[in-house]
Structure 1
Amino acid sequence: MAQKLKVNDKLSNSGQLLKVAPFRSYIRKTAPHRHNGYFEIIYLNQGSGSHTIDGVTYAIQPPILFMMQKEQMHHWDIHTEPKGYVLIVKKAFFQDSLDSVLQELLFKLSGYTILENIEHQQLHPLFTLLEEELNTSSPYQQSNLEGLLKALFGRCLSYASQQAEKKDISNSLFLAYKKLIEQEDYRLQNIKDYAALLHTSPQNLNHACRKAVQLSASDYLAEELIREAKRLLLYTDMSVAEIGFHLHFSDPSHFSKYFKRYTQVTPKNFRSEKG
């Protein structure tokens, strides 16, 4: 039986929709894994080493923030004792909220993977207050949590706007396209189909993508699809044919040609070179 991607779920037994807890100080090396259906913000104000996300390795240089999407693979290689916080939030948390701004802020923040040059004195108290509020029984807990989350997300986005590499994540059409790709799980490979679902034209969709990430809509879709294919090639023992069918290609040959068109190597060679 083909090995599946390792999936961790830190909320499976508790039934929680939101969790804030100190980063576990004993963590050093972890196996590559992804998380089960939640968005995660990792804040470190102490520690050294590296954090690898989808094959890209980032140096841990505190204070630093990492934003983890549910579909991303990652692993740690930490050399000295880490300190900080982990915030986990499930989509269902927002279903109880009437504050549309909160979800919009999170949606914008999810366009980033790493935030540097942040202020420890501004962020640390917000994580501490969130942790305390979660451990307090109050009829106003939901409102208090939403207010603290808005403050945290807003502060993070302020740091994001100051980063040298800026992305136009305010483009609502691009964000909707990005979200739709994730929802459809790569079942659609025709830009016209995505444009129709978004009630726009392929030309408008292309314009939005070029403005946001300097890629056409089809190239952005290909980039996301190839990234998922690489995850499966690197972190599972699924055959090339199984991966092709999993990603909704009509046959293995089509998948191999598509992969090579964007990477200059076949899936088989990519696995052997990186394995």
Structure 2
Amino acid sequence: MGKTVHKYFTIKDKTEPHQHIKIAEFRKNVRKTNPHKHNNYFEFVFLVRGSGSHTIDGRAYIVNPPVLFIIRRDQVHHWELDDEPEGYVLIIKKQFIDDCVDKALKEFLLRMSGHSCFYLEDATPVTALFGLLLAEWQKPAHGNAEVTEGLLKALLGISLQQAPYPKKQSRTKTDIYQRFEELLGHTDTLHNSVAHYALLLNTTPQNLNAVCRRATGEPAASVLAAHLLGEAKRLLLYTDLTVGQIAARLNFKDGSHFIKYFRRHIGSTPHAFRQLE
């Protein structure tokens, strides 16, 4: 376990190198934390007690238990709690997802990644399943992997039934699309070019565009834009990098091109966004 320090946020790793999944009780002494990212894993936080706020990528969510938070590996977040929290933390690494043979579990994880916060009406089954997962994890050698996968599948499935948005028609998530999302998840190497990613995926920009439309209803440029803009906002909010430095980091040809791109999608210039936030 360790952390990497940046100007205004850290990159934390709460797992050991060999651990692909981890379950623990939420630390009761947590009140306020500094902004931080996670080192290449999802973090699910389920709270049954506590109050305050939880900020994810600049958006503050009220801690109103029972509540389930989902923090993706590329997101910066921090806590501002007013009293003692109670709940669970579940960490899932990419390797766990890759090794999982259950396609339904993979689909549940993909659907969960589209949310940041669930306010649950019925927390009883979710609480029970988190407790069972923790009990399995605390066994020698962290218990039985098949049992853990089964409990996790049940937990995600039941949680998704209380998702805050209407269920959308399922689309085909092809291997190319999944690998595209995986490449975009590496925020340190984001590149403002669909053709760049098509080359890495050994396909054409036209085919990647078609694949993204089948998977999401959006073209590849829109899928890429969501990741570019998300990282741009994080860098504007949590670092003192100049607009030109951010443009270079995201592989825009120059600062003016980045400013126009940001304003077209967000409705304000990067400087104005940074000042308002």
Supply the AA of the counterpart residue of 1:155.
Answer: I
| Equivalent residue for 1:200, pick from 197, 204, 207 | 207
Confirm or deny that 1:124 pairs with 2:127: yes
Residue 3 of structure 2 is matched in structure 1 by none
Confirm or deny that 1:190 pairs with 2:191: no
Supply the AA of the counterpart residue of 1:146.
Answer: E
| Equivalent residue for 1:72, pick from 56, 69, 75 | 75
Confirm or deny that 1:172 pairs with 2:173: yes
Residue 8 of structure 1 is matched in structure 2 by 12
Residue 92 of structure 2 is matched in structure 1 by 89
For residue 61 of structure 1, give the secondary structure of its aligned residue in structure 2: coil
Residue 32 of structure 1 is matched in structure 2 by 35
Q: CA deviation at 1:79?
A: 1.4
Confirm or deny that 1:229 pairs with 2:232: yes
Q: CA deviation at 1:208?
A: 4.7
Q: How does 1:213-228 map to 2 (within 5 A)?
A: 217-228=220-231
Identity between Structure 1 and Structure 2 (%): 38
TM-score, with normalisation over the residues of structure 2?
0.82
> Quick one: distance in 1 between partners of 2:170 and 2:55?
23
Unmatched 5+ stretches in structure 2: 1-5
Number of aligned residue pairs: give it: 266
Q: Deviations over 1:18-66 (max 9, x none)?
A: 1111111121111111111111111011111111111111111111111
> Quick one: distance in 1 between partners of 2:208 and 2:19?
40
Against the structure 1 CA distance between its residues 138 and 189, is the aligned structure 2 distance closer, same or farther, given a 3 Å change threshold? Answer: closer
> Quick one: distance in 2 between partners of 1:169 and 1:78?
37
Q: CA deviation at 1:96?
A: 4.2
Against the structure 1 CA distance between its residues 243 and 99, is the aligned structure 2 distance closer, same or farther, given a 3 Å change threshold? Answer: same
109-118 or 146-155, which deviates more:
109-118
Q: CA deviation at 1:231?
A: 0.5
Residue 17 of structure 1 is matched in structure 2 by 20
Unmatched 5+ stretches in structure 1: none
Confirm or deny that 1:209 pairs with 2:216: yes
> Quick one: distance in 2 between partners of 1:140 and 1:216?
43
42-51 or 103-112, which deviates more:
103-112
Q: How does 1:245-256 map to 2 (within 5 A)?
A: 245-256=248-259
- Determine if contact 2:195/2:205 at 8 Å carries over to the other structure: no
TM-score, with normalisation over the residues of structure 1?
0.83
Supply the AA of the counterpart residue of 2:10.
Answer: K
Supply the AA of the counterpart residue of 1:190.
Answer: V
> Quick one: distance in 2 between partners of 1:24 and 1:191?
45
| Equivalent residue for 2:107, pick from 101, 104, 109 | 104
Q: CA deviation at 1:218?
A: 2.9
For residue 39 of structure 1, give the secondary structure of its aligned residue in structure 2: strand
| Equivalent residue for 2:58, pick from 43, 55, 58 | 55
192-201 or 105-114, which deviates more:
192-201
- Determine if contact 1:63/1:118 at 8 Å carries over to the other structure: yes
Supply the AA of the counterpart residue of 1:56.
Answer: R
